[in-house]
Amino acid sequence: MRIFLVCDIYLGVQNAPSIHMMEVMKNIMRQGHDVLLFAPKIRRSQEDISQVKYVPSIDLPVIRHIIYQVLLPFYLLHFWLVSRPDVIYGRFFPSTLSCGIFAKLTGTPYIVEINDIVPKLISMQDKSRLLVLASSATMSLNLRLADRIVAITDGIKKELQMDYGVDSKKIVVIQNGANTDLFSPADVVRAELGLEDGLRYVCFVGAFEPWQGIEDLLSAVPIICERCPEVRFLLVGDGPLYEKLLDLSKKSPISDKIIFTGLVPYEKVPRYINASDICIAPKRPLSAGYSPLKLYEYAACAKPVVASRLPGFEFLKSEGAGSLFSPNDPQDLADIVIRLLEDDAARKEMGILGRRYVCKYHSWKICAKKVIEVCESAIR
């Protein structure tokens, strides 16, 4: 089967969206299928990969998405004429609307992947009302053009049914996964990461965004340190709130216990996770729910996970892979972290159970297999 994957994601930055697309592409190919991935090229320094076809754009907000949408059909047409795909699979963003239109004009089965309710996301970021309306309109049209729809959470599926009137039979839920080869248990020399031996470490990895709830973690730090003075907190990542959170931590009387690493290459992230005793995801509620890529990566490294009690995270409790705390409740978060820091046996058992679960159900290989099945169903 020949598949065109389409996204409006800058692959030059290693974040959840770019990792998702590259892992899906690689794992589909490993299962014997031919894949071309179309993505915007914003900077010359982007890595050249033969299966990735870059569409020129410029690094300017909004404008780069418009340019991509205008140029994308020409690139799709060129490679469609060279070797016609069996299916086109697009990750939704308003600028990928032209992908769906192209699929219909050429009679190619079209699948759209929905990773978020984009109009609501744009509204949360206090963008203009016009952008919200435009994204809502393009989303509605994309959903109508699609032969199949992949939602990454049950919450997204429900919202597509309720807010956009999509038939549930048209939607398949395929959650994110983890690279269980890269993210695996390993002994780490902490000194190589600039970390002191003989201490305990609690680790957060992710983008510094409002919904990550990092402020709640910072509020819990003094409570935890009062009981466990030997603990340190690793905050691995970057994002819009980085400077604000860094300033906030500097005002704390225990700022020396909080370590901001900044952006870390994807391949190096497992070293920080494996150097830690507990990994944490203090996320805040979203109506669409979460497909916990980062939680799967934590668990794949056999680390106990402490996360907000939110839809999508239930497996931590049901599989014995971690503990859940009340969202927006630093005291509850602190109590659970303290309890786990004082229980070596519980942490080890959670780690074993978590890795076993992720390897069985949520590797990228398994996710890619499900995507292939959806593509095959759209062709029939």
pLDDT of residue 96: 80
Write the DSSP string, 284-330: PP-TT----HHHHHHHHTT--EEEES-TT-THHHHTTSEEEE-TT-H
Beta bridge partners of residue 303, listed in sequence order: none
pLDDT of residue 135: 79
Q: Copy the structure tokens of residue 317.
A: 């409790």
82-113 core/surface letters (b: 16 or more CB in 10 A; e: else): eeebbbbbbbbbbbbbbbbbbbeebebbbbbb
What are the CA-CA distances from residue 69 to residues 6, 41, 102, 180, 367 (Å)?
11, 13, 11, 34, 27
Residues 19 and 167 in one domain: yes
Residues 40 and 66 in one domain: yes
DSSP code, position 171: E
Number of domains in the chain: 2
Establish if 185 belongs to a structural domain: no
Residues 226 and 140 in one domain: no
pLDDT of residue 127: 63
Establish if 83 belongs to a structural domain: yes
Whether residue 278 contacts residue 337, with contact meaning beta carbons closer than 8 Å, is answered with yes
32 φψ region: left (φ > 0), alpha (ψ -120 to 50), beta (else)? left
Q: What is the CATH number of the domain that holds 138?
A: 3.40.50.2000
Residues 114 and 218 in one domain: no
Establish if 184 belongs to a structural domain: no
Residues 209 and 173 in one domain: no
Q: Copy the structure tokens of residue 9.
A: 């994601």
Residues 173 and 73 in one domain: yes
DSSP code, position 210: G
Establish if 271 belongs to a structural domain: yes
Residues 354 and 368 in one domain: no
Per-residue pLDDT tens, the chain, 380 aa: give them: 999 999 998 887 778 888 999 999 999 999 999 999 999 987 654 566 889 999 998 888 778 888 999 999 999 999 999 999 999 999 988 778 899 999 999 999 999 999 888 777 766 665 667 777 877 888 899 999 999 999 999 999 999 999 899 999 999 999 999 999 999 999 988 999 999 999 999 999 999 988 899 999 999 999 999 999 999 999 999 999 999 999 988 887 888 999 999 999 999 999 999 999 999 999 999 877 888 899 999 999 999 999 999 998 999 999 999 999 999 999 999 999 999 999 999 999 999 999 999 999 999 999 999 999 999 999 98
Establish if 36 belongs to a structural domain: yes
pLDDT of residue 46: 57
Residues 209 and 72 in one domain: no
Q: How far apart are the first and last CA of the chain?
A: 12
Residues 338 and 207 in one domain: yes
Distance CA 285, CA 237 (A): 21
pLDDT of residue 114: 93
Of residues 116, 124, 127, the one with CA closest to residue 160 = 116
Range of the domain at 45: 2-177+363-379
pLDDT of residue 273: 97
- What percent of the chain clears pLDDT 90, i.e. is strictly above it? 75
- Model confidence over 39-78: pLDDT tens digits? 998 765 456 688 999 999 888 877 888 899 999 999 999 9
pLDDT of residue 44: 57
Residues 221 and 88 in one domain: no
Residues 129 and 15 in one domain: yes
Q: Is the pTM of this model over 0.75?
A: yes
Residues 51 and 119 in one domain: yes
pLDDT of residue 124: 63
302 φψ region: left (φ > 0), alpha (ψ -120 to 50), beta (else)? left
Establish if 143 belongs to a structural domain: yes
Establish if 338 belongs to a structural domain: yes
Establish if 183 belongs to a structural domain: no
